[in-house]
Structure 1
Amino acid sequence: MKGQTRREFLKQAATLASVAILSKSVFGANERIGVAVVGCGGMGNAHINTLLSLSQKGEPVDIVAVCDVWQKRLDAAAQRTGAKPVSDYRQILDDKSVDAVCIATPDHWHTKIAVDAMEAGKDVYCEKPMTHWKSLDEPKRTVSTLNRTKRVLQVGTQGMSDSIWEQVAELIKAGEIGTLIQAQAGDMRTGHWGVLCGCERDIDPDAKPGVNLDWDMWLGWKFGLAPRRPWEPARFFAFRIFWDYSGGLATDWFPHILTPLVRTMGLKFPKRVTASGGLYLPEHKGRWEVPDIFQMVVEYPEGPSIHLMACMGNNWGVPMLIRGSKATLVFEGPGAVIYPQREIVGDIPRKEVQRVRGASLEEHWCDFLNCVRTREQPRSNAQLGYYVMTAIHMGIRSFLEGRAMEFDERTEMVRPARLTKV
């Protein structure tokens, strides 16, 4: 302690103690990771399939618990995995066999389960969107809890495990396409899209609240997550068409296309967001609360602006690209192609960038499991999720309120845009 004050010594001791505690949660290369899957519907089963496949291929990971409020889904998941079935996720928080929690519930449950899991010392794989759209308090709380508890969180935008985003980010940073001006991306689809359409054929008559389904728990009204309502099968089987549980196309599709653009261009919080759209398809009117056509323009403080488009009635797509002052970067073919603006830079050839790693749900899980061992943050981390959810929150509010929204980076608050004189 020579030359060291008592305060400095105690501070150093506390730091060493925290490192020692943290080191207990660092896994060896062959130490098995126990995962609990919360939510055993469509996406939950996709995660179960992936984890079972990884385990069969030699990845040291086990599904040790499965959780669902509907007994039929819970029994099926338990039978497939051999894992412990629970109907309330809180039963896994003190389970020492659970190292990580996979959240595949409706959006309105994401934050509470993620925060509770991290507080209990679990790492988290959370399906997109990272949080519900209504309040920015949710992504703020998710990030602050993550930082305080030193956990690992992966957002389920599996396309982020494509190496092209990392490769192109380096080229942009090196000035290959010049000043960033504008970007665009879209998701256009037709036909029946799973349960989002809320069609009667999606409703399973075996779901019986009070008998084999905990409807109150699903709503989460006792936790302040959504209003209390009588049983309505469409809300359970088609939750994405209701604002209480989802943001529709904005929260189900846009995280997949906005997250890589934010990552690739090194963006953070937006400056202003404007959105529009509506219910254009007759079969959705009177059934959907969310729009089936939706678009957002997201403006960043020093540029660029990003145009995002979603359409349920036509599947003719738009190219995903980034426009710069020297070139246009188009995501196509083997990865991406940089087309020079010859009027600016002269007659130079285009440049092709070939991806070295493709994206898949399995690759995304491998990244997460590796980070559980190394304690690094994964490719689609919580801070990135916070930036994306801020833009989506602003977009949905803009649509609902009929006005542009601004973000105050100093307070991290959103307000209606102020009129400026031209």
Structure 2
Amino acid sequence: MSRAPQTTRRRFLQGVAAVGTAAVIIPSANRAFGYQNANDRPAFATIGLRNQGWTITSKTTPYADFVALADVDENVLADNVEKVKKRQNGKAPDAYGDYRKVLDRNDIDAVMIATPDHWHTKVAVEAMYAGKDVYCEKPLTLTIDEGKLIEKVVKETGRVFQVGTMQRSECDNRFLQAIAMVQDGRIGDVQKVTCGINGMSPSPEIPVTAVPKGLDWDFWLGPAPKCDYRALPEMRQGYGGGVPLYSNCHYSFRDWHEYAGGKLTDWGAHHVDIACWALGATDTGPSKITPLDYKLGCEYEKGYPVVHDRYNVATQFNIQVDMPKNVEMIVTSEGDNGILFEGTKGRFFVNRGKIVGKPVEDLSSNPLPEGAIEAVYGGPVPANHSVNFIECMNSRETPVSDVWSHNRMLEICHLSNIAMRLGRPLNWDPEKREIVGDAEANTFLSRENRKGYEIKMS
């Protein structure tokens, strides 16, 4: 079932002729169609508030009223209540330590989910059954089977669901331009795509220590296995500041397979997404994943870490992905962060800071067709990713970052992690969405939630 972005929102560009004039890469004015009056503004809540939780909330406050916030850390919750109160001219949202109290409220139209990854599926599914539209941060899932479940519930409930891969709507339309160039044949037939997603340093041993005051550690763990809180006292600076540099909790949760997928599902969820969109592979997947070389954060046995006192995700990696039409994708921790497209007629590179290469330079004399950027997006490009979500809440159409295309590309990231954990290539059936001829590897497509934190399926 294809959910390609050009089929979403409106068919505004049907019949537009490609007349060869320059494509104007200017975001449309700040607006959310259908929510221009104060009485029309939807009621929102955010669940999970550190870092990205505040980012998506702050981007959305011009277009929605935040009536509730939820977080398992009292300190994070209190801080964000004050920040939202200031944004809303003194109108404070209600504060909850338990997200289920948010879902019980009939006055909330939509929830934004920015919890650690291992919570995403449980909260999202229960929110949809509670009648809420959902904006969920990337990566959407911890496992491939969780993605299948979310797709089922979206279809069953009819809820609008936006995934937070904001590169699709923001970054000065640089990635949309890259997709338009590939699809307009500016590099000929694509032969290779390299996604540079950064590596990381391994951690030292991280000791068990006291749980910080105000943090409900058991509830933070939720569906994940029960374990001790670990941290070193040195504090992280800059983005993610105010928390220990090394821990198995705030900010550093992405470095543990129990809660996330490391760089593969962090930056990979951005760049592999754009690569698949450009290749027209949003409703299919690879045939094979081969870990060429890699290093894990600790020793593994039969796919599981043998120690639990340090980061365990991959720190360095080069992974070969066999894509449709004989395109080779390389996902690597080496080189510049971004995407390199190579074809029979040229190559160019794009990331959040630049888009460079001869095919880009050639645009000055041979611009993209008028409307090419909007044709990729499926309509006018909004001010930010949240605006697209609210527009689709109003129209009941599929947002630009839908669960189907997101899960398809995220399968590449999940399979890469499985291949490294097991130390072998994996053959993948993109129609059945299962690993071929490897029963052990297929056990990694799902995970069992901890007792008491099962997903409520109604």
Q: Deviations over 1:210-236 (max 9, x none)?
A: xx332221111xxxx211123334222
Aligned to 2:324: 301
| Larger helix proportion of the pair | 1
Counterparts of 1:22-421 in structure 2, within 5 Å, are: 29-30=36-37, 31-52=40-61, 55=62, 59=63, 61-81=64-84, 82-132=92-142, 135-162=143-170, 163-188=173-198, 207-208=212-213, 212-220=214-222, 225-233=223-231, 234-237=247-250, 238-267=252-281, 268-275=284-291, 276-279=293-296, 287-310=310-333, 317=336, 320-331=339-350, 335=355, 337=357, 339=359, 363-415=384-436
Shift of 1:63: 1.1
Shift of 1:318: 6.1
In the aligned structure 2, how far is the partner of 1:68 from the partner of 1:183?
A: 39
Q: Which moved more, 1:61-70 or 1:167-176?
A: 167-176
Which AA in structure 1 matches 2:67? Answer: V
Q: Secondary structure at the match of 1:259?
A: helix
Shift of 1:298: 1.6
Higher RCO (C-alpha 8 Å, min separation 6): 2
Shift of 1:369: 1.6
Which AA in structure 2 matches 1:387? Answer: R
What TM-score do the two structures reach when normalised by structure 2? Answer: 0.69
For the 8 Å contact 1:114–1:126, the answer to whether it is kept is yes
Q: Secondary structure at the match of 1:98?
A: coil
Q: Which one has the largest radius of gyration?
A: 1
Which AA in structure 1 matches 2:339? Answer: M
Aligned to 1:23: none
1:230–1:179: structure 2 CA closer, same or farther, 3 Å change rule? same
Q: Deviations over 1:99-138 (max 9, x none)?
A: 1111111110011111111112211111110101xx3210
- Number of aligned residue pairs: 360
In the aligned structure 2, how far is the partner of 1:361 from the partner of 1:213?
A: 37
In the aligned structure 2, how far is the partner of 1:412 from the partner of 1:219?
A: 28
Which AA in structure 1 matches 2:287? Answer: K
Shift of 1:387: 0.7
Shift of 1:244: 0.4
For the 8 Å contact 2:205–2:310, the answer to whether it is kept is no
| Identical residues among aligned pairs (%) | 29
Shift of 1:146: 1.1
For the 8 Å contact 2:264–2:414, the answer to whether it is kept is no
For the 8 Å contact 1:178–1:325, the answer to whether it is kept is yes
Shift of 1:32: 0.6
Q: Secondary structure at the match of 2:278?
A: helix
RMSD between superposed Cα atoms in Å: 3.7
Q: Secondary structure at the match of 1:298?
A: strand
What TM-score do the two structures reach when normalised by structure 1? Answer: 0.75
1:412–1:90: structure 2 CA closer, same or farther, 3 Å change rule? same
1:334–1:244: structure 2 CA closer, same or farther, 3 Å change rule? closer
Shift of 1:40: 1.4
Q: Secondary structure at the match of 1:182?
A: strand
Q: Secondary structure at the match of 2:314?
A: coil
In the aligned structure 2, how far is the partner of 1:272 from the partner of 1:417?
A: 13
Unaligned runs of 5+ in 1: 1-25, 341-346
1:353–1:146: structure 2 CA closer, same or farther, 3 Å change rule? same
In the aligned structure 2, how far is the partner of 1:40 from the partner of 1:349?
A: 43
Which AA in structure 1 matches 2:147? Answer: P
In the aligned structure 1, how far is the partner of 2:407 from the partner of 2:77?
A: 31
Shift of 1:310: 2.1
Which AA in structure 1 matches 2:317? Answer: F
For the 8 Å contact 2:193–2:340, the answer to whether it is kept is yes
Shift of 1:185: 2.2
In the aligned structure 2, how far is the partner of 1:318 from the partner of 1:65?
A: 36
For the 8 Å contact 2:198–2:263, the answer to whether it is kept is no
Q: Which moved more, 1:348-357 or 1:261-270?
A: 348-357
